[in-house]
């Protein structure tokens, strides 16, 4: 069983791993479970209700809940492998290794994408198609595109899954396409989803741009109402990233949800996570994410109060002396 993150680099990770290490078992003897980090432990347990000999966890940030399940299942399995590129996983590696026997392999390093880590650490020599997909995964995770081809394929995969991040059938469909070396760009179903998302994204960028206000040239703050957030669901993260690129400025999106305010931060340097931590601290909420792309959730507050809070925080969080490009 392969349990992987339901996103662009998670799909490509599953492809690379299965192709190189489970080729004979594909497709009839491999179950692929797509999940999200916050519910990976639940989906892992559910997957284990079938007869499973080997479990591979890919591109899933380790948490204490997930580690607990890994430890409890490892005794009854032939082999367990964990491959992840999130910085936050590093602190759990020691715990997993010291509490399990030799059948558990853990590869955790900070890299741009999980496929990049698979190729580097599991000693794969990728063919040109695989190399292209690893580059695509890097771009999906915020890296610079090395060619137009790579940028286009990354755009197609990322946007075609963005609208419905819980549609795991579609992710399986994508995985099957690339397992069979099919061109994702010309596939009809993928294309239809991509074009819808692309259209909505252009409308979203227009709306975000119209609502954006510049605060003392430090940051652009933009807002969406609840109905607008619903229309553009699934694209808000991508849209905020895109806006920061367009403006070459730090961007903060503030929007209302049912009973809370969600703040999405994209920064040109690695300030976003620290800003969100501070916003969450002052606003008594929660936060999470990557160095340059993070978000915070606050109990319901007046949007103007949140905007004032953000400006204060942006002033107090100074540039970090170490500026990295990677957002792993």
Q: How far is the CB of 261 from Mn ion (least distance, A)?
A: 26
Q: How far is the CB of 112 from Mn ion (least distance, A)?
A: 11
Nearer to Mn ion, 223 or 327 (CB): 327
Q: How far is the CB of 241 from Mn ion (least distance, A)?
A: 15
> Phi/psi at 255 (nearest 5 deg)?
-145, 155
Residue facing Mn ion at closest CB distance: 5
Q: How far is the CB of 290 from Mn ion (least distance, A)?
A: 10
Residue 77 is classified by DSSP as S
Q: Return the H-helix or E-strand segment holding 262.
A: strand 260-266
DSSP codes, 298-317: EES--HHHHHHHHHHHHHHS
Which pair of tokens denotes residue 236? Answer: 């808000």
Which pair of tokens denotes residue 30? Answer: 């491999």
Q: Return the H-helix or E-strand segment holding 45.
A: helix 40-47
Query: How many other CB atoms sit within 10 Å of the CB of residue 163?
Result: 18
Nearer to Mn ion, 59 or 242 (CB): 59
Nearer to Mn ion, 5 or 274 (CB): 5
Nearer to Mn ion, 9 or 250 (CB): 9
Nearer to Mn ion, 116 or 266 (CB): 116
Give CA–CA dist 295/273, Å, rounded: 7
Q: How far is the CB of 165 from Mn ion (least distance, A)?
A: 11
Contacts of 130 (CB under 8 A, 6+ apart): 16, 19, 119, 124
Helices 148-162 and 168-179 pack at an angle, to 10 degrees, of 150
Query: How many other CB atoms sit within 10 Å of the CB of residue 267?
Result: 25
Q: How far is the CB of 3 from Mn ion (least distance, A)?
A: 12
Nearer to Mn ion, 7 or 130 (CB): 7
Which pair of tokens denotes residue 221? Answer: 């703050």
Q: How far is the CB of 5 from Mn ion (least distance, A)?
A: 4
Interface ranges with Mn ion (CB under 5 A): 5, 7, 9-10, 59
Residue with tokens 């010309």: 186
DSSP codes, 101-126: -TTEEEEE---S-HHHHHHHHTT---
Nearer to Mn ion, 25 or 167 (CB): 167
């Amino acid at each position: 069983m392969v349990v992987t993150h339901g996103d662009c680099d998670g799909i490509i990770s599953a492809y690379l791993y299965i192709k190189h290490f489970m080729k004979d078992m594909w497709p009839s003897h491999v179950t692929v479970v797509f999940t999200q980090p916050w519910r990976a432990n639940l989906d892992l347990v559910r997957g284990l209700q079938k007869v499973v000999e080997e479990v591979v966890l890919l591109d899933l940030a380790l948490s204490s809940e997930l580690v607990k399940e890994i430890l409890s299942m490892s005794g009854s399995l032939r082999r367990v492998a964990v491959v992840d590129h999130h910085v936050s996983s590093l602190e759990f590696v020691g715990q997993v290794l010291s509490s399990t026997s030799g059948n558990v392999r853990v590869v955790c390093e900070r890299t741009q994408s999980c496929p990049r880590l698979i190729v580097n650490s599991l000693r794969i020599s990728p063919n040109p198609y695989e190399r292209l997909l690893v580059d695509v995964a890097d771009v999906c995770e915020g890296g610079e595109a090395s060619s137009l081809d790579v940028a286009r394929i990354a755009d197609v995969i990322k946007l075609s899954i963005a609208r419905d991040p819980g549609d795991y059938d579609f992710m399986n469909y994508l995985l099957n396409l690339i397992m069979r070396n099919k061109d994702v760009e010309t596939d009809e179903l993928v294309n239809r989803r991509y074009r819808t998302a692309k259209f909505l994204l252009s409308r979203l960028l227009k709306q975000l741009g119209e609502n954006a206000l510049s605060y003392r040239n430090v940051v652009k703050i933009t807002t969406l109402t609840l109905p607008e957030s619903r229309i553009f669901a699934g694209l808000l993260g991508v849209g905020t990233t895109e806006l920061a690129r367009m403006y070459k400025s730090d961007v903060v999106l503030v929007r209302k949800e049912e009973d809370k305010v969600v703040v999405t931060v994209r920064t040109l340097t690695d300030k976003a996570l620290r800003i969100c931590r501070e916003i969450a601290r002052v606003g008594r909420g929660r936060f999470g994410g990557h160095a340059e792309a993070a978000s915070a959730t606050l109990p319901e507050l007046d949007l103007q109060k949140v905007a004032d809070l953000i400006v204060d925080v942006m002033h107090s969080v100074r540039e970090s002396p170490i500026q990295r490009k990677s957002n792993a």
